[in-house]
Amino acid sequence: MLVTVRLFARLREIAGRDEWPQQLPAEATVRTAWDATIREFPALAAYERSLSAAVNADYARFTTPLHDGDEVAFLPPVSGGQTDDSRRPTDARLTTAG
Amino acid sequence: MRPGWAAVTAPSSTSGGYTEIVDPAQPSAVGVAGRQEIERLAVTQTVLDVAAISASVASAATGGLTIFTGLVRDHNGGRRVRWIDYEAHVALAGTVLARIDRETIGRWPGVALAIHHRIGRVGVGEASVVIAAASAHRGDAFAACRFAIERVKQIAPVWKHEHFEDGAVWVEGATADPEDEAALQLAVQRACS
């Protein structure tokens, strides 16, 4: 299948690319797309634990299946969490959520 | 002055010679006649218009209207901020703002909510986000407005690239997860405290 991978903010800056077409095997998930992304841009691997992902226009998990034509986006932590008395969720990571 | 509104001199029976603004059609319904047809939920490159955003939620039944305006301030962490570039996943942001709207109305059913987030370069003193919550009574308007801004901060896919005199940094907080129940409860708690 052919999907479009998109990167935002710091991830986009590190990779030096904002989007590209990515060929993936059948049965691919968000995880498959991420693995392909860090093969191309190994410097992104360190961000895996703080990522969010989106498929098309909705948040997704690493286990979310992809389909031909999907757009999968990888997102660094959003800006808003950093407020006066903010918390940083430790139970909300892609890697631990189903 | 809004189109369709008229400025009239107060009747001589009232003290002083002040001028008040009245809508001839609906003299007691502030906001109705001048209501502008703008989206309630938006991510936009253009300067945020607080009056228009407020008008998009106010009605004749509104007794309380709470507005939160987030501004770019001139300092952060002891450094002088020159401007902030806001970046968003716009399509996802649309989905997320609609979700926050549903979450808010689900808890405060009588409230009408508007959320406008600006993207692109925003200068010091300019608004980056405006939230308006209208309700029959002030309590719900305040609570809904606070809840909505907390949720925007938690889950809206918007990133700040803060520019200083001598460089720029990405501001990163928490990993966004709309299903995170603890974060949701924290927003409710802040809204109701």
Residue B156 has pLDDT above 60, yes or no: yes
Q: Are B110 and B38 in contact (CB under 8 A)?
A: no
pTM, full prediction: 0.82
Is residue B30 very low, low, confident or very high in pLDDT (cuts 50, 70, 90)?
very low
Name residues whose C-beta falls within 8 Å of residue A6's C-beta, 6 or more positions apart in sequence: A18, A19, A71, A72, A73, A74, B89
Q: Which of A54, A89, A92 sits opposite B89 (nearest CB)?
A: A54
Is residue A80 very low, low, confident or very high in pLDDT (cuts 50, 70, 90)?
confident
Q: Find the radius of gyration of the CA atoms of chain B.
A: 19
How many domains does chain A fold into? 1
| Chain segment B135-144, per-residue pLDDT in tens | 999 999 999 9
A65 assigned to some structural domain: yes
A93 assigned to some structural domain: no
CB < 8 Å to B175, chain A: 50-52, 77, 81, 88-89, 92-94
A90 assigned to some structural domain: no
* A88/B183 CB distance under 8 A: no
| Chain segment A20-69, per-residue pLDDT in tens | 999 999 999 999 999 999 999 999 999 999 999 999 999 999 999 999 99
Domain range for A49 is: 2-78
As for the ipTM of the complex, it is: 0.85
Q: Where are the domains of chain B?
A: 1-34, 37-192
Name residues whose C-beta falls within 8 Å of residue A61's C-beta, 6 or more positions apart in sequence: A30, A53, A94, A97, A98
Mean pLDDT of B89-111: 97
* A97/B176 CB distance under 8 A: no
A84 assigned to some structural domain: no
* A78/B161 CB distance under 8 A: no
A19 assigned to some structural domain: yes
**3.40.50.2020, 3.90.1170.40, 3.40.50.2300, 3.30.9.10: which CATH number matches B37-192?**
3.90.1170.40
Mean pLDDT of B27-37: 42
Which CATH number is A70's domain given? 3.10.20.30
Nearest CA to B92 among A14, A82, A9? A9
Is residue A81 very low, low, confident or very high in pLDDT (cuts 50, 70, 90)?
low
Predicted pLDDT at B37: 65
Query: Looking at A67-71, B21-25, B163-167, B177-181, which range is the least confident one?
Result: B21-25
State chain B's mean pLDDT as an integer: 85
Is residue A89 very low, low, confident or very high in pLDDT (cuts 50, 70, 90)?
very low
